[in-house]
Amino acid sequence: MKERYDVYFAGQIIDGHDPAVVREKLGKVFKANESVLDKLFSGKPQPVKRDCDSSTAVKYKRALEGAGAVPIIKLAAEATQHPTAKTPASRPMSAAEKIAALAAAPDKNAYQKAEESRPSAAAQPATPADTGSIALAPPGTEVLRMEERAQPVIRHVDTSKLAVDATAQRLSQESPPPPPAPDTQHLSMGGVGETIPNLASSQTPLTPDIAGIALAEAGVDFSDCAAPKPQAPAVDLSHLAALAPGDMPAEEQQRRPMPVAMPSTDHISLEN
């Protein structure tokens, strides 16, 4: 007969998870109310699923671990593996009712404390493992033997061409000092409203001759200033003559191909 398992939860949280968030997730997964959640987080192992096969135990284990809770999976008692009587048929219980019923039922089996439990790596043990001779080594204990350790890679770097300078010696040339600030003692501010710049200019101003320029009277349209109309160019056409209508220049006649006579096909007939 296949092994049967009981799934328990003792309120233990996986490291790194917020207890309030885990409590909220478990309430959503199992649809449990606050009273059922208080019992599950009381610190004592509470049954979540009893007398189930290995695949069902794995499903509950993954659901608890997905919510951040540490499951406790144990072999079911022989009394649950060989029931003496079957219960009468009734309506199927919801997940919340099942968990509430399991949490309210007394635990007839003795289970280890929640702080001593560990998440099960696989929920299909053939027989209970004997851990009486197993103990945790103190922190800092060397677990691997010398031949089992990875050997460090030693690299030989040629540093014969390198040298170490004296302490506090500069590795680069010192920057030159900044140039001195310009002397502005001979400068002064101009007065308010004074035209700037007011310095004397050495350039000779331009004095164009405008004696021949006068202003026109008011209303002048300046038509006399318009450019004259261009005259037609004088072209000699005495050596040209016009052809009669329908005539074609000799050059055009030479460029055109000669007409080709069509062969006569009157003596040709088709046979049936």
Residue 52 CA to residue 47 CA, distance in Å, equals 12
Ranges 85-99, 110-124, 206-220: which has the least confidence: 110-124
- For 140, counting Cβ atoms within 10 Å of its Cβ (0-12 exposed, 13-18 middle, 19+ buried), the class is exposed
Structural domains in the chain, CATH included, are: 5-83+92-106 (3.30.1390.10)
Q: Rounded mean pLDDT of the chain?
A: 75
Q: What CA–CA distances, in Å, run from 59 to 48, 80, 81, 123, 195?
A: 12, 20, 20, 10, 93
In the chain, the N- to C-terminal Cα span, in Å, equals: 100
More confident residue, 111 or 199: 199
Ranges 79-93, 126-140, 243-257: which has the least confidence: 79-93
Residue 97 CA to residue 68 CA, distance in Å, equals 22
In what side-by-side order are the strands of the sheet with 5-13? 46-52, 5-13, 69-75
pLDDT, residue 130, reads: 58
> Residue range 10-15: average pLDDT?
86
CB neighbours of residue 70 within 10 Å: 22
Task: Say if residue 237's pLDDT is above 80.
Answer: yes
Give 248's pLDDT tier (boundaries 50, 70, 90): confident
pLDDT, residue 221, reads: 80
Q: What percent of the chain has pLDDT over 70?
A: 72
Task: Say if residue 173's pLDDT is above 60.
Answer: yes
Q: Which of 23-32, 176-185, 192-201 has the highest mean pLDDT?
A: 176-185
pLDDT, residue 186, reads: 87
DSSP state of 203: S
